[in-house]
Structure 1
Amino acid sequence: MRKSRSAHLIAGALAGALVLAGCSGAGETSTNSAAPAADSSTGVTKDSVVIGTHQPLTGPAAPGYSKISVGARAVYSYVNDAGGINGRKIDYKVEDDGYNPTKTVEVVKKLVLQEKVFAIVGGLGTPTHSKVVDYLNTEGVPDVLVSSGALAWDDPKKSPMTFGYQVDYTREGKIQGKYIKENFAGKKVGYFTQNDDVGRDTQKGLDQFLTTEVVAKQGYDSANTDVTPQLSALKAAGAEVVVCECVPAFTALSILAAAKIGYKPQFVVSSIGADPTTLSGLLQDFAKRSGASVSSAQLLSGLVGTGYLPDVGLTDDPWVKFFKDIHDKYIPAEPLTNTVMYGMVQAYTFSQALKAAGPDLTRQKLVDAMTSGSLKGPGLTPFGFSKDSHSGYTGAYVFQINPDTTTKILQPPAVTDRATGAITPYSGERLTPEQVNLTAK
C-alpha cells in the first residue's frame, strides 16, 4: 500500500530531526560520599556575589532549554537594577556544556577554580550534573535548584550542598498514574520513557496506580532520535494511552512518529516535555528541516500534561503578570514560553534564598536559608525544603492543550511524597510578588 504524501513529509521531518538528541532530566546518579559544607564567603564582595551554571546553549539539548538561562538572566537584571540583594548585585556566569558530561566537569571546575563562584545555580541535566555533584559537595560549593527531577538531588546526608528544583519524577509519576487510572478507566496504557533516571524514577510512581492496564513499555536512548520502532510497538500492543516521560525533542518526535504510522493515542506528557510553545516550535522546526509542513496546533490538541508552575497563558495570575513585566523590559524579543518562565522562577527563588541568608553572607548561611522552609511561590505547589529534605516542588496539576495551543487545567494542584503516601489536593498559601518583594529594604 502506498504511503500518503503527508506520511512521507512527516517521515522526512523525522529524518531531518535525527541530528537532535535528548534534553535534560536523564542519566545516572552519583554514589560517592560528600564532605561537610564549607562555611566560606568565596565569590562574595561588598557589592557583588558571583554565581555560575552549566547549560546546553549548543548541542542536542539546546532546543528549548537554551532559553532557561535567558529567563534567569532577565530576573537577575531586574534584581540588580533595583539595587541587588542585601546591597549586592548578582554576577551570573553561564557556561555552555553542550549537554556533554565530560564538558560539564570541565566548565564547572572552571567556574569553581577560576571564576571563584559562590554557588552553582540550576545546573541542567541528570547525566551532566551527576558528574559534578560529588565535586561540588567536596569543595563545599552550594549546588542549588538543579534543573532535573531525579531523586538523587534529595539526599541531605550524602550531598548536603545539593538541592532540587522541579517536582521529582516519582511524585509526578504518581499524580499522572492516579489521573490515568481515574479518567481513562478501561483503556490500555503504554509507557514511553527515557532509558535512565527519568524512566526509572517515573515508573516508581506510575506503577503504584497502573498495573494490568499497562500493555507495553518502550524506552528511548537520547542518542537515537528514530523512535518510529517504539511507537509502532506501542501501536501493535494496542496502547490507547501513551505516557511519554520525554524531554521536549522526544515528545515532538513521538508525536510525529505516531502521525507517520497513523497512530492516534492519548498522549500524557510530563512537565519536562509538555510546554506547548516549545513543542510547537520543535514540530515546525523538525518539519522545516526536510521541507515538510505540519500543523502544530492539530498535532498537539488534546495532549494531557502535568506542571507545577503557572502557565504563561494564565494572564490573571499575579506571578505571570510579574514575570511578563520583567520579560517585556529585559528580553522583549524572546517568546515568553513556559521554558523561559522556568528560568525566571528559578532565578527568583535563588534570589529569595540569597536575601534570607542575610547581609553577612556565607555558603553555609545560604544552605541554612534553603532548608529554613521560608521559600514560597511562585509555583502552584510548595517546596519540600527542610533540614531532612532537599526536594524541590512537591506536586503538580494536570492540564490539557486546547486546539489553539492554550491550556486548561483538568485537575488542580495536588501534593504527595516520593514513596507510597497519598496524593492530596493542595490548598496552602501562595505568596504574591508583593508579599515576597525581594527589592524591599
Structure 2
Amino acid sequence: MYHIVRRGVSVLTAMVVVGAVAACSGSSGTSGASVPGVTSTEIIVGTHTPLTGPAAAGYSKISAATKAYFDYVNSKGGVNGRKITFKIMDDGYNPATTQQVVRQLVLQDKVFAILSGLGTPTHTGVLDFLNTNKVPDLFVASGSLSWNQPKKYPYTFGYNPDYTIEGKIFANYIKANLAGKKVCTFGQNDDFGADGLKGVQAVLGASGVTHSETYDVTNTNVGPAIGALKAAGCQVTIAFTVPGFSALALGAAAQLGFRTQWMVSNVGADYATLGGLLKDATGPLLEGVLSTAYLPAPMDTSNPWVSLFMKLNQQYNNNTAFDGNVEYGFAVGYLFVQALKAAGKDLTRQGIVDAVEKNGFSGPGLSALRFSATDHSGFGGLQMGKVQDGKQLVFGPLYTTDDGSGPVTETSSTQPAPPEDGIPS
C-alpha cells in the first residue's frame, strides 16, 4: 500500500516545470495574471477521496454531497459569475494512489485548489507537492496536526478538530464521569491514532492509559488487538478509527465477550454508516457508544442547518440516505463558497489563502473556526455525543482546548441561522 510507483524523474521534471510556470503566472496574485483553474466563467477544484477501498464506507458520500452543493450554487449563478467544477478522484485510501491523482489534478487538470482531500496517511504524502506548487490546500478532511503548520505549509488548512483536541476532550469526560476505570485506546497506526493517544495522555498522563493497540488499514483482522484489550481489563476503550474499523472492533468485541465503554472518534462514529456495516447487530452494539461532534447531529431534524442540507440533498444529490458524511460534504461546500466570496472577484491562489486566514466565517459548526495567519487548524471545539434508544445526539456543553497542555474548558457558542437561500452572502 505504501509502495511508491516509480515515476521519480518524470514527476520531478513536471514539478520543476510547474514551479517555473507558477512563478511567472497566477501565483503572484497580481490582477489580470493567468490563474490555474480560473476563467471568467469557471473555477475548477479537485479532491482525492476513497470511493473504494478500506475507508470507502461512509466517506465515499462526502464528495458527492459537496458537488451537490456546488450544483445548487451553480444553479443560482455561481460565485461572482463563475460556476464551480468539482473533479473527484478516487484514491482508494492508498497513499501511493493519492500522489498519482493529486499530481494529475494539478499538472494535467490545472485545478485552482485541492478541496477536502481525505485521510491522514493519504494527504500527508502530498503536502510538500501542493505547497511547493502554491496550490491552495483547503479544509483537509482529517484532524491530523500536520495541517496546522502555516510556516512550513502556508497553503494548507485543516477542517476537522485535531485528534489531539478530541483525545483531550474524551479524557476530560472520563475524569469527570468514569474516574477509576481502566482506560485503553485502539487507534489507526499513523498520525490519526498517535495524535489521539497524545491528547488522552495529555489529560490522564501516560500512566492513565492502561493499554494501547493499533490497526493497519490493510489488515481487517482486528481480533488479536481486541483480545489484547480484553486481556488488559480495559473498562473504557477510546477508538480512533475510520468507520470500517469501528464496526470491526465492535463486532470483534461482541464475539469475544469483551464488555467495555466504547468512545469512538467523530470520524468513525456516524450511526447510519456503522448501521450499514453492522446490519442487524446495529442496535445492541451501538447502544451507549459515546462520541464527539462539531457539526449538528444529522438526526436532529429540528436544526435549521440539517433541514437545509436535507432539502438540498433531496433536490441535488439524488436523495441519498442522509447521514453525517452527507452533512459534512454540504458543510465543506458551504465554507468553500464563503471563502471564494471573501477572496473577491479578482480571484487568485494567494487571495483565497489570505481570505481564509482573515477568517470571519460562520456556518453550521457547533464551535468557531480558528483560522488565522498563525493557525491553520479548523474547528477547536466539540460536544459529546451518545447513542441512546437508537438515536445519536449531542449532549452537554461545548468544550474547547488546544493541542498542547492547555485546559479543557466549557465554551458558549451561538450557531447562526442559515441564509434564506442557503448561500453565504
User: How does the TM-score come out when normalised to structure 1?
Assistant: 0.87
**What is aligned with 1:183?**
177
**What is aligned with 2:364?**
378
Aligned to 2:358, the other structure's residue is in SS state coil
Q: Deviations over 1:267-306 (max 9, x none)?
A: 001111110000111112xxxxxxxxx4211110000001
Instruction: Note closer, same or farther for the CA distance 1:435–1:335 as it changes in structure 2 (3 Å cut).
Output: closer
Q: Distance in 2 between matches of 1:238 and 1:65?
A: 32
Deviation of 1:320 after TM superposition, in Å, equals 0.7
**What is aligned with 1:266?**
261
Q: Distance in 2 between matches of 1:337 and 1:385?
A: 27
| Paired residues for 1:227-242 under 5 Å | 227-242=222-237
| Paired residues for 1:229-308 under 5 Å | 229-284=224-279, 294-308=280-294
Q: Distance in 1 between matches of 2:66 and 2:200?
A: 32
| Paired residues for 1:144-159 under 5 Å | 144-159=138-153
Ranked by relative contact order (alpha carbons within 8 Å, sequence separation 6 or more), the top structure is: 1
2:396 matched to 1:416? no
Contact 2:55/2:243 (8 A) holds in 1: no
**AA aligned opposite 2:306:** V
Deviation of 1:428 after TM superposition, in Å, equals 3.0
Aligned to 1:217, the other structure's residue is in SS state strand
2:391 matched to 1:396? no
Deviation of 1:214 after TM superposition, in Å, equals 2.5
Task: Find 1:220's aligned residue among 215, 222, 235.
Answer: 215
Pairs aligned (count)? 398
| Paired residues for 1:34-433 under 5 Å | 38-40=27-29, 41-211=35-205, 212-284=207-279, 294-404=280-390, 406-433=391-418
Deviates more, 1:132-141 or 1:417-426: 417-426
Q: Distance in 2 between matches of 1:358 and 1:325?
A: 28
**What is aligned with 1:291?**
none
**What is aligned with 1:438?**
423
Deviation of 1:412 after TM superposition, in Å, equals 2.4
**What is aligned with 2:11?**
none
Q: Deviations over 1:222-273 (max 9, x none)?
A: 1111111111111111111111111111110010000001111110011111
Percentage of pairs with the same residue: 47
Q: Distance in 2 between matches of 1:39 and 1:90?
A: 22
Q: Distance in 2 between matches of 1:181 and 1:341?
A: 31
* Structure 1 unpaired stretches of 5+: 1-20, 22-33, 285-293
Q: Distance in 2 between matches of 1:55 and 1:199?
A: 20
Q: Distance in 2 between matches of 1:430 and 1:372?
A: 20
Contact 2:120/2:190 (8 A) holds in 1: no
**AA aligned opposite 1:275:** D
Q: Deviations over 1:38-76 (max 9, x none)?
A: 235211111110000111111222111111111111111
Q: Distance in 2 between matches of 1:247 and 1:413?
A: 23
Aligned to 1:145, the other structure's residue is in SS state strand
**What is aligned with 1:17?**
none
